Structure 1
């Protein structure tokens, strides 16, 4: 009785087309496209998300540097209740206020205050360089959270765009390869039929 020699199984390499005798140039290109697409989607998405978060954080910091607080006084009594249908959900109302700038100029504008606040009530408002009342800048934990959320939304969006582009290129390659196979079969098919018919 003869013993069958043991068979050696070659390990599957990371590069599947590396030593395959059936590989074509288009197979190698397709494999590279898949690899590059994965790398670009992961790295590009992460970098884009980080850049978006940093940009948002810098925009908040720049906005904070452009505005400052001033102490203003109400010149009219604030309405007791917010007007219906205004869409404001913070419970405050608009009222006329007045303050004196650092250069001694008196400014007046409208600001959001507590409903029913009497004339003469002192409040703190945010103003810009031209002396207009503006919304308070986003700072602290709110700024950090919004920057992080912006990055978290941008990262998968960029990754999806890169993946879609890679998928489109790969699809075109597959269609081209199928067309090449059809052309080759048109040449080989009749001969194959003759070989089978001659048996």
Structure 2
């Protein structure tokens, strides 16, 4: 991007090569494309993600119900399947055998996870189920969906800017290679006579 700052100064510089000006214009065009394409890409992807996630929030809230379950007994912690190195996660959840009533009125019984620290028989807790009464994850909330959409938009904006910068670097790389090839050709023409008295003038 340093080429942009020197673009105005190079216009009347007799030492400025055509490739220097082209490189500066490519850098300026890339900067303008980044400033235009990154926000547009971010807005489009973020908006699409927001619409999709809002629909997922609606579907999950329509298909999942919160019910009250009763602890029958605590189950062995060794069967939790939690990484033993993450003690914090093990402290937050316990596995219990519980009874609950499904949204359709049928009685259910099974092993579930609970946030109760010290579950005892008869303790009650809230849990999420699907319409058939099977345990389900907590439905996605609107704030989390919005956060995911913003992150998707931000990632798309970064990807668009990165793509433009990659194309700029490829163009400049090709230009530099051609410049060096022309320099090698010029050296091959004058190289054998270089340094001899009276040659070239």
The 3-state SS of whatever aligns with 1:76 is: strand
Q: What residue in structure 1 maps to residue 31 of structure 2?
A: 38
1:62 to 55, 61, 82: 55
* Aligned-partner SS, 1:133: coil
* 2:73 partner SS: coil
TM-score calculated relative to the size of structure 1: 0.64
2:161 counterpart of 1:159 = yes
1:91 aligns with 2:92: yes
**How has the CA–CA distance of structure 1 residues 20 and 158 changed in structure 2, closer, same or farther, with 3 Å as cutoff?**
same
Task: Output the CA distance in 2 between the equivalents of 1:129 and 1:19.
Answer: 76
Structure index of larger Rg: 1
The answer to whether residue 64 in structure 2 is matched with residue 71 in structure 1 is no
Structure 1 unaligned segments of length 5 or more: list them.
1-11
Unmatched segments (≥5 aa) in structure 2: none
Q: Larger % of helix: which?
A: 2
Give how far 1:70 is off: 2.4
Asked whether the 8 Å contact 1:93–1:114 carries over to 2, the reply is yes
1:114 counterpart (106, 116, 139): 116
Q: CA deviation at 1:163?
A: 1.2
Q: Given that residues 66 and 126 in structure 2 are in contact (C-alpha distance below 8 angstroms), is that contact kept between their aligned partners in structure 1?
A: yes
